[in-house]
Structure formats: structure tokens, C-alpha cells
A and B are shown apart, each in its own frame.
Chain A
Amino acid sequence: MTRELRFFQALREATEIAMSRDPSVYIMGLGVPDPKGIFGSTLGLREKFGEARVLDMPTSENGMTGVAIGSALAGMRPILTHQRIDFALLSIEQIVNQAAKWHTMFGGLMKVPLVIRMIVGRGWGQGPQHSQSLQAWFAHVPGLKVVMPATPHDAKGLLLASIEDDNPVIFIEHRWLYGMSGPVPEGHYTVPLGIARVAREGRDLTIVSTSYMTLEALRAAERLAEEGIAAEVVDLRTLSPLDEGTVLESVRKTGRLLVTDTGWKTFGIGAEIIARAAEGCLASLRAAPVRVCLPDLPTPTSAALAARFYPRAIHIWKEARNLMGLAGAEGRPFEPPGVPLDVPDPSFVGPF
């Protein structure tokens, strides 16, 4: 049976299923058992699985990441949560030097089955230290897997696959996806890591997207279709290992490539995808590829500034038209007049 679930409910269901199936799975993070339950994604787990497997922890991100790694070496399957990526930066040493390397540097004797959930904030004044989208950092490090679901279906299936994987997985969730609904099958299923999703088929240009920008890309593709342009949207879902095959297959078909990512432009996911296209199918490219990413600037806090900072469907639409060689157009706004641009939808009333 498939029914509609919100993104956070899909995450919660995946965790519940994983913990029911495998007693070595436990979840730990600041606020995991608190009344807000990581924006709803861990609610009810403490009641069902008890204090031993659903843990709050000291405010010690680096140390507790090491603890999670050590427990994984000892046979557990920890899920560690951070309410923002920005806090997880305190644990970069353990993630990069340790979690990513123990398997390889000890000749394959060790494995670190660890999932680290991190949330990307946006809007409502999240500002420079509650909104960073650092997937490119993690994807740069061999030994880590990096996952970014865009739909409730993939959130559940990718989280289950990540928990069952024997490697450290950085699982990056966009805060603006939490309230989105979508069809989610009941029971256990996995979405395999390392396989992209063609979210919309098209022959004219390829839009490669990550996480929340997949939603904006699909909105842009909708309007492009009204204008007779068939955009193919490839939602990467997993950044590492990267599904180069699906990307290149699409670019060979369309000859045009636009990449839209929730992170910064410079040295980011867009750069990597375009480099892969240049290496893998340069002759297919009929126009210079384009990136629609964040400007290289710490996120401004004011709603007025943030509205101009974040690219949205209209920016993707404009760049797609340019790629198609169509005359410049201002275009009517995607959002009706008066709709605030610093929230995922009008039902969101803060504070985070």
C-alpha cells in the first residue's frame, strides 16, 4: 500500500522500520528524544524503543561522532543527527580522518556502518551559520557516501539503504522538504545508493538537480514545457558514489546541461557534474553548461536580502531559455504576488 506522507514522517518511518528489524540500530543526537523530535522525524521512537536506543547526548559533536564510530566498530549501527550541518562542522575531524578511513587504512579489516543526518536550513532568517549546504565537502572525501533525498519516497528508501550500508553515510536533509507530501509505500523498501532518478523526461535540455532544488527545477520544467521546451530533470539523490551514467546518458540525448544545487557555486556539485560531462561527452554538448547555485557569499539573514540570495524556479527557467538560445525574457513570477519567499510554503510560520 502506498499513501501520502510528509518528508519528516517518511524519515521517522524509515528509522522505526530499521530499528524494528535490527537491534544493533540506535539513534543519537541533541534533541532526538525531546518534545520537538528533530522537526518530527524522531517523535515516538523513545516510547517504542526505549532510552538505550534513542539517546540524547552531551553537546560534544566531535567526541560523540567518535563514540558513534567506535560503537560501529563494535558492531552497532548508529544514526547520529545534527539539527543543522553547521553544528556538524565541529566533527569534521572524526568524519574525515576517522570514519572515512578506517576501512581502507586498516586493509579492509574494519567497517564503519554509520549514518550522520544533517539538516540544511533556509529562510526565516537562518543566516550565515544555520543554512550552509556543504555536500560538496563531504562528497570530496573518499570513503564517505553522501545522500540527498528530494522526495518522501526517496527519504524513506534512501535512509533505510543508508542504515543498512556498511559504510559511513552523510545523509543531508533540506529543511524546506520536511513538510512536503508525497506517495510513500508502507513497510520496508530501499532506494539503492548511487542511482540517480530521472524525475521528468525531456529531449531538449538536461537539468541535474540536488535535494530541494529538484522541486524548483520541476517547476521551471513545467513552464518550459508550456513554451514547447522539454527539459529532463535528473535528481542525483546520491552524490557519492555519483551516478555518472544516468547524467551522461541524459546529456548525450539533450546536448544541453544545467546544474542546480543547494550549495555554493564555486568548487561545488555543479562544477563536478559539468566536469564529468566535459570528460565524458564533450562532443554532445551544443552549448556551454550553466550552474544555478548559491552566490559565493555567506547567507544574509534579512528576508529582503535572502530573497535575492537564493536561486528559484525563475532563475532556472531563465538560464534554461538562454541555453536554448531563446531571446531574453523577464517572465512572470512563479510565486503569486505577496507570497513571502523566505518560507517553503505559507503554512510555515517559523521560528526554524
Chain B
Amino acid sequence: MSDPAKLPILYELMLRIRRVEERIADLYSEQEMRCPVHLCIGQEATAAGACAALERTDHVYSTHRSHGHYLGKGGSVRAMMAEIYGKATGCSKGNGGSMHLVDLSVGYMGSTPIVGSSIPIGVGDAFGAVLRGEKRVTMVFFGEGATEEGVFHESVNFAVLRKLPVVFLCENNLYSVYSPMSVRQPAGREVYSVAQGHGIECHQGAGNDVAAVYDLARKAVRKAREGGGPTFLELKTYRWREHCGPNFDNDLGYRTVEEYEEWRKLCPLEAFEKRYLASGAVAADELRRIAERIEREVADAVAFAKSSPFPQEAQGVYAP
């Protein structure tokens, strides 16, 4: 870990993501959150580690599975929860839902669920920053399925051509909904190696090791900020619950219980606690204080969302 002072914040970001999503899963059966939710429980380290390497003024774009990225970038828990509940106080005033989160105050620019579709927009944001002489880095999150989309390649090509300040952050969780890698990409070919063909610097890392993620992201962000151009990071991780919804779905048979159990042992939070509590790098009571604060935040956000009014009118179609 290159920056031990960051350890508490990495833990806080991961735990916030975990507890917000577990609360969503607990409450989902009440049927008051009337929109799809794509939970990233098990994948918290990629979001937390990568976002912790960014400044508040840097920009993030993401996908359908974006709660972690939104919270990692510092997005409002209240506004996200209210959005999922379809309330007027939600971050998109009820027009977006879980798949369309935004918080401009922290540079979280937006999530969209069409696979790969936010990648060129993030690249364009970086291009716009360069044209305007603004010094910021744009990080674009996507899954490994997006690397199968043409627009991914078009976007990486342009980012390399123009040496844009972009970090392409690929979370490889092995499945596109229920379709495994084996039916989508040739065996033995690493995802990052395809990006490499575009002449972009690529790294592959352990997505459940938050410190490793942070270190990789920090180098890529620093390089982008200094004018060194884009980087592609492939982080291997695993979603614990179903593709969409609050439940576990190992009964469906598209993946094995053994595989799930192997990844379950690699829980990013448990790994963090084992490693840094034992070494004394972080103090147990500090982590406990963080956990208590997050419990209050989550309870407050749910109460806020539930008590907020529904919107009366949809957002108008044109900007005035």
C-alpha cells in the first residue's frame, strides 16, 4: 500500500457501499423501490479503490451497476436512496432510478445501462476538458462485457489518438447477466490484451484487494493528469448476488456454488480487516466508529427517502 493514510477512507467507502446495498436488499421485498437494482455486493473494492484515487473535481461515468461508483465518488446517500424510491428528492428527481444516478457536486456525471454506452461520453467529457483547458481526469467504469462492444474500441482508439486524460476501469466479474466468459470471448485471451491492441497502457489487478486497486488507479490518474494519456485497468472481481435484484441466485445453475464460495472467501472487507487490523495499520476502534457512522447514515437515508414526496410532474423534454 503506497499511501497508508488512505486506509481508513478506503474502508469507509467500501463499508458504505456494502451497507447501503445490503439495506436495499433487505427492504426490496417491501416493493416500495419500484425499479431494477443491480447490486455490486462483493465488488466494493474496485469502486472504492479507484474513486479514492480521484479528486473531487475529477469526473466519473458508469453503468447499470453503479451504486458503488456513485458512493465511491462521494455521491449523496440520501439522494441516491430517494431516487431508487422514485421520489422528488432523488438525485434525478425520480426520472432516472437506480440505473441513472448523478451527483454533479462530486463529479459523478451519470450512469447509463446500455452496455458500453457511457464509455465514449466519458471520453468526450475528457476531450471537452482538454478543449477548454480544464485540468481534470475522467474515469469510466464498465464491465468486461462492454469490451465486446464496438463502441469500446472506438472510444479507446480516440482516447489514445488524442492522448486524453481518461482511466478506463474494467470490472471483470466474469458474467454478462448469466452468460459466462466462455461463450463470449476466446479461452486463454485476457480482456486487457484486447485493449492493448489499441496501443494503450494496460494493467490487470486483483479487484478485491482495495489497496492494490488504489495503487493501480493512483498511477493511472497521475499519469492522465500529467498529460501522459489514458490507461486501461482490468480488475477481476465477482458479484455475489443475482444480476438484477436483491437475492442470491446460485440455484439457477449458471455458475457453480464452488466458484461462488471461492470468491466469497475473497470478500474485500474481510480481507481488509484481516490484513490491516492485524498489522496495526488501522485501529479497531477507528473502524468501529466508521461503521457506526455509516449505520446512522444509511438509516437516515432510508427514512429521508421514505418520507420524501413523490414528484408531481416528469421532467420536461427540452432544456430551456
Specify which chain B residues have a CB less than 8 angstroms from the CB of A105 in the assembled complex: 92, 95-96, 100, 315
What mask results when residues 198 to 214 of chain A are scored 1 for a CB within 8 Å of chain B, else 0?
Answer: 00000000000000000
Given known pairs A66-B121, A67-B155, the reply for A106 and B110 (CB within 8 Å) is yes
Is B316 part of the binding interface, using a Cβ–Cβ cutoff of 8 Å?
yes
Specify which chain B residues have a CB less than 8 angstroms from the CB of A142 in the assembled complex: 317
Taking CB atoms and an 8 Å cut-off, the chain A residues in 10-24 that contact chain B are 24
Give the CA-CA distance A66 to B166 in the complex, in Å. Answer: 14
Given known pairs A60-B158, A63-B155, A167-B319, the reply for A98 and B121 (CB within 8 Å) is yes
Q: Which of A70, A107, A241 contacts B93 (CB 8 A)?
A: A107
- The answer to whether B319 touches A93 (Cβ under 8 A) is no
- The answer to whether A93 touches B154 (Cβ under 8 A) is no
What mask results when residues 40 to 72 of chain B are scored 1 for a CB within 8 Å of chain A, else 0?
Answer: 000000000000000000000100000000000
- The answer to whether B92 touches A109 (Cβ under 8 A) is yes
Give the CA-CA distance A60 to B122 in the complex, in Å. Answer: 16
- The answer to whether A108 touches B161 (Cβ under 8 A) is no
- Among B109, B125, B129, which residue has the most Cβ atoms of chain A within 10 A? B125
Give the CA-CA distance A103 to B122 in the complex, in Å. Answer: 16
Specify which chain B residues have a CB less than 8 angstroms from the CB of A103 in the assembled complex: 315, 317-319
Taking CB atoms and an 8 Å cut-off, the chain B residues in 151-196 that contact chain A are 151, 153-155, 157-158, 161
Is A73 part of the binding interface, using a Cβ–Cβ cutoff of 8 Å?
yes
Classify chain A: how many residues form its interface, as a range. 35 or more
Specify which chain A residues have a CB less than 8 angstroms from the CB of B118 in the assembled complex: 98
Classify chain B: how many residues form its interface, as a range. 35 or more
What is the CB-to-nearest-CB distance from A53 to chain B, in angstroms, rounded to a whole number? 8
Given known pairs A62-B151, A104-B95, the reply for A74 and B314 (CB within 8 Å) is no
Give the CA-CA distance A109 to B112 in the complex, in Å. Answer: 15
Give the CA-CA distance A73 to B102 in the complex, in Å. Answer: 13
Is A160 part of the binding interface, using a Cβ–Cβ cutoff of 8 Å?
no
- The answer to whether A70 touches B117 (Cβ under 8 A) is no
Given known pairs A69-B121, A105-B92, the reply for A63 and B154 (CB within 8 Å) is yes
- The answer to whether A73 touches B128 (Cβ under 8 A) is yes
Give the CA-CA distance A97 to B317 in the complex, in Å. Answer: 14
- Among B118, B126, B127, which residue has the most Cβ atoms of chain A within 10 A? B127
Task: Write 11 A-B pairs (CB below 8 A) sorted by A numbering.
Answer: A62-B120, A63-B151, A70-B126, A71-B128, A74-B124, A76-B131, A94-B121, A98-B117, A98-B121, A107-B95, A107-B102
Q: Which residues of B contact A (CB under 8 A)?
A: 61, 90-96, 100, 102, 104, 109-110, 112, 114, 117-129, 131-132, 134, 150-151, 153-155, 157-158, 161, 314-320
